[in-house]
Structure 1
Amino acid sequence: MDFDAVILAGGKSSRLGGVPKAELKFGGATLLQRALEAAHGAGTVVVVGPDPGTLPDGTLTAREDPPFAGPAAAIEAGLAALEQDDVTRAGHGRLPSGTHARWVLVMACDMPFAGTAVPVLLSELAEHPDAEGAISVSADGRRQPLLGVYRFSALQREVLAAAEQGGLANAAVFRLLARLDLLAVPVPAGSTDDVDTWGDAAALGVDGDQP
């Protein structure tokens, strides 16, 4: 299944004392590198957050407006970057306009085991192509909107609708997704576990220098 990816890597990490989650390490790689590996197979990848200067060739970068305006605003910035890349490639004669993927993987960078969930989400959508996306459901029944695959046009529709009502700065991601017809997909245990605190990091085996 063709898909692009938006990786969210620009939060304040306030409960980590400001240490960027993207730079924490797991298994010898940064969490951002792990997220990029989890998005393997994506046609175009956008990292929304500060550019670390070590991204693979062809990876796009973007920043939510204003910076630190939350994940919903970051998703908006990622979609805009994908659209702009589409326009740029069309302008250079490499591809016709409108060739971005039908689906977009949205993933926060702080889930070191997210890669086990991605193929499950894609497989579910392949079986239900009329859905507007697939959202991860953890083993304890919680939905994780920052590990999901969504129809690009549906997300863009909701971004435009939100713009007419004040925008997405500091808005809840569930507000952005509220009207989408989503599949709730159980994913492998632990794949949605994220790092919000140093306690989370220790429990998951994630390393970093505490301030």
Structure 2
Amino acid sequence: MSAGGYDAVILAGGAARRLDGAGKPGLSVGGRALLDRVLSACADARRTVVVGPRRPTARPVRWTREEPPGGGPLAALAAGLCEVTAPVVLVLSADLPFLTADTVGVLRAGLAEAGTEGMLLTDGSGREQPLVAAYRAESLRRELALLATEHGRLSGLPLRLLTAELSLGRLHHPSASFDCDTWDDISAARARIREHGHVLDEWISAVKAELGIDLDVDTAALLDLARDAAHGVARPAAPLTTFLVGYAAAQRGGGPEELAEATRKAVALAARWADETGTPGQSAG
């Protein structure tokens, strides 16, 4: 695992009572399991620990369970902290369909700049989301130990007992903090992913995850190429051309520069092809 300067603990062992006991982390949004979507947002964590029942995941993680199983968020967090060593810990629930790596970076940067013990997101109504947050690991361990001593246990205790004792910064981010507690939430997330402004980026992210591709895709350039090929040559030329561009880029190393160069050459070819539709000596435009 790459050294990202932080560890991640993902809580994935809740009972999901409002989802009729369904295995929430495995529910699909945009063709990807909720847990896999969260894992992609913290892919640069030095170590990722998932607290909950084992299940297939898109990338390797370390698994552990709270004691007793189903003992609640504080017991789960304590179990996860036993498996990490970084001074900063990203703590996430497993049901965040719109969390991104950029938001994770903002949380970590906010924690470093503010000098607090934690930095968490707030949702659209301003409600704090302590399971979408970056914390100083030592602060979490200290307060969990004090709570365990005071109450004789961590199981069954509410998360607010922990966060009430920490100095926290807050970032308002309704999208990234959206979680899926009910079937209506799942339906809303699935519908939003298919909205016009999101669907292409979501689809490309899903395809890259499915194929194991880590590549920045210039969506606008490829769409322009597909348009030019469709209009200047023939409609079926669009998907075939973009396929050939991807194949050519892969043959030359598969990086962003290779993809951009293959796209540039194909766009120039499409323009020359379209120019030939006019009379000799006269541009088609």
Q: CA deviation at 1:151?
A: 0.2
Deviation at 1:120, TM superposition (A): 1.7
Report the Cα distance in structure 2 between the residues aligned to 1:21 and 1:203, rounded to whole angstroms: 15
Cα offsets for 1:130-159 (capped at 9, x unmatched): 311101112321100010000000000011
CA distance in 2, matches of 1:190, 1:54: 23
Superimposed CA distance per residue, residues 3-37 of structure 1 (whole angstroms, 9 cap, x where no aligned partner) = 10000111111111111111101122100101111
Q: Take 1:54 and 1:204, find their aligned partners in 2: how far apart are those partners?
A: 20
* Selected match of 2:37 from 12, 29, 34: 34
Report the equivalent of 2:70: 68
1:118 aligned onto 2:120: no
1:81 is displaced (CA, Å) by 2.1
| 2:129 aligned partner | 144
Whether the 8 Å contact between 1:154 and 1:180 is mirrored in structure 2 is yes
What does 1:102-117 correspond to in 2, within 5 Å?
102-115=87-100, 117=103
Q: C-alpha deviations, 1:90-110, integer Å up to 9, x for none? A: xxxxxxxxxx21100000011
Matched, 1:182 2:168: yes
2:176 to 184, 187, 191: 191
Q: Is residue 132–residue 180 contact of structure 1 (8 Å, CA) maintained in 2?
A: yes
Q: 1:117·1:136 contact (CA, 8 Å) conserved in 2?
A: no
Letter in 2 for 1:19: A
Distance 2:68 2:140 in 1: 20
Contact 2:96 2:178 in 1 (8 A): yes
- Report the Cα offset of residue 46 of structure 1: 0.2
Superimposed CA distance per residue, residues 62-98 of structure 1 (whole angstroms, 9 cap, x where no aligned partner): 111111111121111100122xxxxxxxxxxxxxxxx
- Map of 1:162 onto structure 2: 147
- State the one-letter code of the partner of 1:145: P
Q: How does 1:40-119 map to 2 (within 5 A)?
A: 40-54=43-57, 56-57=59-60, 59-82=61-84, 100-115=85-100, 117-119=103-105
Identify the structure with bigger relative contact order (alpha carbons < 8 Å, sequence gap 6+). Answer: 1
Q: 1:54: Cα distance to partner?
A: 3.7
**Which residue does the alignment assign to 1:127?**
113
TM-score (norm 2): 0.62
Q: Structure 1 length normalisation: TM-score?
A: 0.83
SS of the counterpart of 1:117? Answer: helix
For 2:6 and 2:32, the matched residues in 1 are separated by 24
- Counterparts of 1:13 and 1:196, CA distance in 2: 7
Identity %: 41
In the alignment, structure 1 segments of 5+ residues that lack a partner are 83-99, 207-211
**8 Å CA contact 1:16, 1:198 repeated in 2:** yes
Query: Shift of residue 53 of structure 1?
Result: 4.0
Provide the aligned length of Structure 1 versus Structure 2: 186
Structure 2 counterpart of 1:18: 21
Partner secondary structure for residue 114 of structure 1: coil
The structure with the largest helix share of the pair is 2
Distance across 2 between alignment mates of 1:18 and 1:142: 25
Distance 1:78 1:177 in 2: 17
Q: Distance in 2 between matches of 1:56 and 1:79?
A: 20
Offset of residue 55 of structure 1: 5.7
- Mapped partners of 1:36, 1:26: distance in 2: 14
In the other structure, the counterpart of 2:190 is 205
Distance in 2 (CA, whole Å) between partners of 1:160 and 1:180 is 13
More strand by share: 1
Q: Which has the larger radius of gyration?
A: 2
How far did 1:167 drift? 2.0
Instruction: Supply the distance in 1 between the matched residues of 2:161 and 2:99 (Cα, whole angstroms).
Output: 23
Q: Give the RMSD, CA atoms, in angstroms.
A: 1.5
